[in-house]
């Protein structure tokens, strides 16, 4: 007999070792995420997947499911916390969606819509984060970085290049590239690297491809991030 836990009152089957998030998505229940990726080990930094399991707040992406657990996810309280976390991500960087070429394909923006984020609520930090346009094929706009470390992990674990790393601490944490000059052009980064194609927001952008898809046909124009991600999990 398969084991199961209850997600918002719905039974969700799981196999040993599966996390709450994995099991939920396979069963057709959406728990949001930004730093989680099915091909990588759980990271647990964005905290959007936060759920209440057996009364405790945990990251659904990093917590193995347990038989008989009652997990609360799609509730006003948890969604309120998620909206707050999204607002935090928006105010700590410089996100100008209307002029961003990732607009319509951006997971942060899509989650903002999904969780009905109407204002940024908190004061903006307006950090000073210069862009790096040195590379012939790729532009880095650090203003939009949310520190999911997917590029760090993809470059290190799949591309075998370790082009990216985080330095600094706390609110001053920031992305750096693997070159003494600090310029992407001086690394062995290539536009076909997984790391060049994994950013959920608009930091790593391919040059000469901006705004290629017209408004109305972009990833999240006609379908919510919820339905897109569930479709990915079921395929």
Partner 1 sequence: MSALPSVPLVTLDDILQRHSHDPTRLLQILIDAQQIEGWLPAPSLTRIAAALHIPRARVEGVAGFYSFLYTRPVGRYRVLFSDNITDRMLGNAELLDALCRKLWIEPGKLSEDGLVSVTTTSCTGLCDQGPAMLVNGRAIGQLNHRRINEIAELIRQQRPLDLWPAEYFRIDDNIRRRDALLDLDMPPGAALTAAIARGRDGWLAEMQASNLRGRGGAGFATAVKWASARNAPGAQKVIVCNADEGEPGTFKDRVLLNSFADLVFEGMALAAWAVSATEGFLYLRGEYHYLRPQLEAVLASRRQAGLLGTSILGQPGFDFDIQIHLGAGAYVCGEETALLESLEGKRGTPRIRPPFPVIKGYLGRPTVVNNVETLAKTCLVALEGGEAFAATGTAQSAGTKLLSISGDCAAPGIYEYPFGVPIARILEDCGASDTQAVQVGGASGMCLASYEFQRRIAYEDVPTAGAFMIFDGTRDLFDVARAFVHFFAHESCGFCTPCRVGTALLKGFMDKLADGHGAKADLNDIDWLDRLLKNASHCGLGSAAPNPVIDTLQKFRPAYERRLVSLDFEPAFDLDAALAEARQLTARDDPGAHLKTHEEEEK
Which chain residues interact with partner 1 by CB under 8 A?
Answer: 42, 44-48, 50, 57, 59, 62, 81, 84-85, 88-89, 91-92, 122-123, 125, 146-147, 156, 162-173, 176-180
CB of 30 to partner 1, least distance (A): 19
- Take residue 55 and report the two structure tokens written for it: 């009364």
Q: Tell me the HSE value of 185 on the side-chain side, using a 13 A CA sphere.
A: 7
91 by Cβ neighbours in 10 Å (0-12 / 13-18 / 19+) ranks as: middle
CB of 197 to partner 1, least distance (A): 19
In the bound state with partner 1, the residue whose beta carbon lies nearer, of 71 and 89, is 89
In the bound state with partner 1, the residue whose beta carbon lies nearer, of 42 and 202, is 42
CB of 77 to partner 1, least distance (A): 9
CB of 38 to partner 1, least distance (A): 17
**Residue 116: strand, helix, or coil:** coil
CB of 209 to partner 1, least distance (A): 26
- CA nearest to 155, candidates 122, 89, 105, 203: 203
CB of 186 to partner 1, least distance (A): 10
In the bound state with partner 1, the residue whose beta carbon lies nearer, of 57 and 207, is 57
Q: How far is CA 168 from the centre of its chain?
A: 21
In the bound state with partner 1, the residue whose beta carbon lies nearer, of 195 and 205, is 195
Q: How far is CA 100 from the centre of its chain?
A: 17
In the bound state with partner 1, the residue whose beta carbon lies nearer, of 171 and 215, is 171
Q: Which residues pair with 167 in a beta bridge?
A: 174
Q: Helix 76-92 vs helix 107-114: angle between axes, to the nearest 10 degrees? A: 140
What's the rounded Cα separation, in Å, for the pair 43 and 24?
Answer: 18
Neighbours of 8 (CB within 10 A): 15
In the bound state with partner 1, the residue whose beta carbon lies nearer, of 225 and 230, is 225
- Take residue 218 and report the two structure tokens written for it: 């972009």
């Amino acid at each position: 007999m398969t084991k199961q836990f209850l997600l918002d009152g719905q039974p969700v089957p799981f196999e040993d070792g599966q996390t709450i998030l994995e099991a939920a998505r396979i069963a057709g229940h959406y728990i949001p995420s930004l730093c989680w990726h099915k091909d990588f080990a759980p990271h647990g930094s964005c905290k959007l997947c936060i759920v209440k399991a057996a009364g405790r707040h945990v990251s659904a992406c990093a917590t193995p499911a347990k038989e008989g657990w009652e997990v609360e996810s799609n509730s006003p309280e948890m969604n309120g916390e998620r909206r707050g976390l999204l607002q935090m991500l928006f105010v700590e960087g410089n996100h100008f969606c209307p002029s961003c070429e990732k607009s319509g394909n951006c997971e942060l923006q899509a989650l903002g819509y999904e969780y009905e984020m109407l204002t940024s609520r908190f004061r903006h930090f307006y950090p000073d984060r210069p862009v790096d346009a040195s590379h012939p094929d790729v532009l880095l706009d650090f203003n939009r970085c949310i520190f999911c470390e997917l590029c760090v992990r993809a470059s290190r674990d799949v591309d075998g290049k370790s082009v990216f790393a985080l330095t600094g601490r706390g609110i001053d944490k920031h992305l750096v590239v693997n070159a003494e000059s600090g310029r992407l052009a001086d690394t062995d980064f290539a536009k076909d690297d997984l790391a060049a194609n994994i950013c959920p927001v608009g930091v790593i952008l391919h040059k000469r491809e901006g705004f290629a898809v017209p408004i109305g046909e972009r990833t999240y124009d006609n379908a919510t991030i919820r339905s897109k991600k569930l479709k990915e999990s079921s395929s």
